[in-house]
Amino acid sequence: MQIHPYWKKKIFGIEIYKIKFLFQKYLYELLGITLPKMSSQKDYWNTRGEAYMSDILDSGFEDRELFFQNLLIDHLKQLEFISIFEAGCGFGWNVKRIKQEFCDKVVGGVDFSLPQLKNAENYIGGLDIKLLQGDIINMPFKENEFEIGFSIGVFMNIHKKNIYKAANEMKRVSKKYIIHLEYDEDNTTERLREYRKPKTNIISHDYREIYENLGLKTIVFKTYKDFNDSYEEHLKSVSGTLKRWQNFEGPEKYILAIFKLNE
């Protein structure tokens, strides 16, 4: 495993990213103080984005996160569509898999991180996938350009002041369905809720309330309680060691929600 320079930056011999996390953690545990959530994560992801692909692919994380990607694929097979895009496509991990599974579909993605998109150019190879730079709250796509829009672990990085802007953009660009695999503190374990509470880059949203307020219909809403057994089965196929300083958080890290737009 090659360690990207981003993860090597240290102060007094301790990695900077660990110092930030531990400071937030102990501030909350000892004093009950949580710092404000990050209002914008562009600087964060333009820096971390350089290292994110290697962090996922070289650490054993991919084998475990594959469970959620498989969950998305299984539900896409139950929907009729000809085009799909990912909001926050990163280095292209999800859109590449979708194009391979649904080779006749139009696949696209948007991300504001140029380092991520640069890595995506190499990762997706010669596959016909339309990737653009842009902000989720103002996406460079036409109205109803794709039949399905989705995100996995991206909207939890959007500040509450912008969440309705982002949801409205998903509604504008998507013609038939919107799918989210995202963090929901009201539908997780107490252990993970307490662990994530002091993190300034993770923000919980009530997706069902948001999209129903925008006039969409919830057709699927599942939590870790619904897919915990299948996650345990998936783990049996994972043989590699997780080479990260934090453990994989498990099925409770996301809910799965599918919303249908009025046609």
Q: In this structure, what token pair is assigned to residue 184?
A: 């929901």
pLDDT of residue 22: 83
What is the pLDDT, as a whole number, of residue 25?
A: 87
Tens digit of each residue's pLDDT (9 = 90 or more) over 134-145: 999 999 999 999
Calpha distance 73→177 (Å, rounded): 14
Q: What is the pLDDT of residues 161-219, one digit of tens each?
A: 999 999 999 999 999 999 999 999 999 999 999 999 999 999 999 999 999 999 999 99
pLDDT confidence of residue 43 = 86
Measured between alpha carbons, how far is 9 from 213 in angstroms, rounded to an integer?
A: 44
pLDDT of residue 5: 62
One-letter amino acid at 37 equals: K
How many Å apart are CA 160 and CA 155, to the nearest integer? Answer: 10
Looking at per-residue confidence, does 100 or 44 come out higher? 100
Class of the CATH domain delimited by 5-260: alpha beta
**Main-chain phi, psi angles of 104, to 5 degrees:** -90, 0
Provide the residue ranges of all domains of the chain, joining segments of one domain with +: 5-260
Q: How far is CA 171 from the centre of its chain?
A: 18
Give the pLDDT confidence score for residue 1 in this predicted structure.
42
Query: What integer pLDDT is reported at residue 8 of this predicted model?
Result: 57
The alpha-helical segments, DSSP class H, found in 174-222 are 190-196, 207-213
Greater model confidence, 122 or 22: 122
| Predicted confidence (pLDDT) per residue in 1-40, tens digit | 455 565 556 666 666 767 787 889 889 989 999 999 999 9
Contact 132, 144 (CB under 8 A): no
- Residues forming a β-bridge with 68: none
Nearest to 180 by CA among 171, 192, 193: 171
Render pLDDT for 217-229 as a digit per residue (tens, 0 to 9).
Answer: 999 999 999 999 9
- Nearest CA to 92 among 47, 58, 126? 126
Contact 167, 214 (CB under 8 A): yes
| pLDDT computed for residue 204 by the predictor | 98
Give the pLDDT score at 50.
82
Residue with tokens 């002041």: 161
**The predicted structure's pLDDT at residue 17:** 67
| Selection from 131, 177, 136 nearest residue 156 by Cα | 136
143 token code pair: 């109205």
Strands (E), 88-241: 106-111, 129-133, 146-152, 174-182, 217-222
Query: Which structure tokens are listed for 190?
Result: 């107490």
Identify the pLDDT of residue 26: 84
Give, in order, the Cα–Cα distances in Å from 261 to each of 105, 136, 172.
Answer: 20, 19, 10
Compute the mean pLDDT over every residue in the chain, rounded to the nearest whole number: 92
pLDDT one-digit tens code per residue, 30-73: 999 999 999 998 888 888 888 889 888 988 889 999 999 999 99
pLDDT for the residue 239? 86
The predicted structure's pLDDT at residue 7:
52
Report residue 234: phi and psi, to 5°: -60, -40
